[in-house]
Amino acid sequence: MAHALFVAFHYPPEASSSGVLRTLKYTRYLGDHGWRVTVVTPRADAYEVTDAALEAQVPSAVRVVRTPYLNTKRHLSIRGRHPALLAVPDGWIGWWPWGVAAGRRIFARDPFDLVYSTSPHATAHLIAQSLARRHRRPSVVDFRDPWYEDPPEPGTTRLQQWAAARLERAVVRRAARVVASTDRLRAQLRSRYAEEPEAKFAAIANGFDEADFAQLPPRHAGRSEELLIVHAGSLNGVFRDPRPVLASLRRETDRGRIALDRIRLRFLGGGAFAESPEVARSIAEHGLTGRIDFVGRVSYERALAEISAADMLLLLQASPDTADLVPAKLFEYLRAGRPVLAVVHEGATGETLAEVAGGWAVDPRDEEGLGRALASGYEARTRGRLHELAARPERLERFSRRRLAAELASHLDAVLREARA
């Protein structure tokens, strides 16, 4: 079997980011396509949130090498401050020396045929490029999110923005393949590096793993009369703000389109913003006290069970810099067989929902559109026809994690053939 070295910051037991699933599932299924994998990743104490059940999914054939690290903010700050130079390209640059050293030791014992890296965090790409150059191996870089953004994310310093542009260019130029998580992000990268061969750029979507749903308990009969809407994941006041939904729900109840005592919203792992005065004030102002449940962070398995027990699913991701992205959560929502209300700006998520006919994509500023979606879901639930609004399974087949791993394997195979030629 060919041997791929994966460099990934987010890898089980890390559980704060859905990006961990993309890499986990690749390593879980690449063995079916002639690739064995060694993963270089930080020690588990680097992660603030972990899930042992996710780590249990790592196949025994996958070797995981955990390394020491330094985190700029955690280890090098003085009174909460540190020089911006020590966080280029990100706060995990202190992982670089140990990641490179681990890769060199692996190569000495068991040479790898190529190096694959995934971001965020971008430090993973720098580790991979160092190893690829030293050992004369091709590299494949995976962008789950953009690295260089214009305009930059809030809090980005001029130095970090300048470095992001130059380091990304260097990584892309040296890579044999550049894989993006959406067609839109691929097009963005292709346009930025038009001098590079078009065949260098590929898109592989996020998806769902059928195996994760196979063990879920069956949905209970004797359902409540309430329409249950579930949101899984953190909330914030910037681009995952539930308040427009709360306001629209109040308007629809005032218009008589929704009975307030027959609807319930449930938020899983909402974080600090879910408990903030702003959200509490919105709930009280709209008379929704007692209609909304906030649950702390739950395991991945529990989250899948919760979304599978819902009637509708809520996705909040509305900001200009996420318009070209589709969160992995959407595909799990769709696989759960529930219609999705995606509160997003026009972009890749809305296009995916339209492609599979799995619900509604509504801008948070579109008050009437949000109201219509909520009222439509409520009416369909009342008539026993809510299932008709969910995506049909045959439209989701191409987002199976097994199938997506096969796509990645085809790119790895091509890169290896080119390198040997």
Residue 93 CA to residue 318 CA, distance in Å, equals 29
Query: d(Cα 136, Cα 119) in Å, to the nearest integer?
Result: 22
User: How many Å apart are CA 78 and CA 296, to the nearest integer?
Assistant: 32
> What is the pTM for the complete model shown?
0.94
Token pair, residue 375, equals 């009222």
Closest CA to 419 of 117, 138, 135: 138
Rounded CA gap, 415 and 115, in Å? 11
Judged by DSSP in three states, 114 sits in strand
**Average pLDDT score over the chain:** 95
| 211-397 has the same fold as 2-207+400-420 | yes
* Distance, CA of 320 to CA of 202 (rounded, Å): 23
Q: For 54-71, what is the mean pLDDT?
A: 97
In the chain, where the domains are located:
2-207+400-420, 211-397
- Asked if 312 and 387 touch (Cβ cutoff 8 Å), the reply is no
Q: What is the pLDDT of residues 332-354, one digit of tens each?
A: 999 999 999 999 999 999 999 99
Would you tell me which CATH number, out of the four given (3.30.1490.20, 3.60.15.10, 3.40.50.2000, 3.80.30.20), belongs to the domain 2-207+400-420?
3.40.50.2000
Q: Which two tokens stand for residue 143?
A: 């962008």
DSSP letters, 370-386, are: HHHHHHHHHHHHHTT-G
For residue 121, the SS3 value is coil
Best CA proximity match to 337, nearest among 234, 176, 251, 210: 210
Q: Assess contact for 26 and 58: CB atoms under 8 A.
A: no
Instruction: Encode pLDDT of 134-166 as tens digits.
Output: 999 999 999 999 999 988 888 888 999 999 999
Q: What's phi and psi for 65, nearest 5 deg?
A: -110, 115
pLDDT digit string, tens, across residues 197-236:
999 999 999 999 999 999 887 776 546 789 999 999 999 9
Q: Is 393 exposed, middle or buried (0-12, 13-18, 19+ CB in 10 A)?
A: exposed
Distance CA 233, CA 410 (A): 32
**Which two three-digit tokens encode residue 144?**
């789950």
**CATH for 211-397 (3.20.20.10, 3.30.1370.60, 3.40.50.2000, 3.90.76.10):** 3.40.50.2000
- Per-residue pLDDT, 167: 97
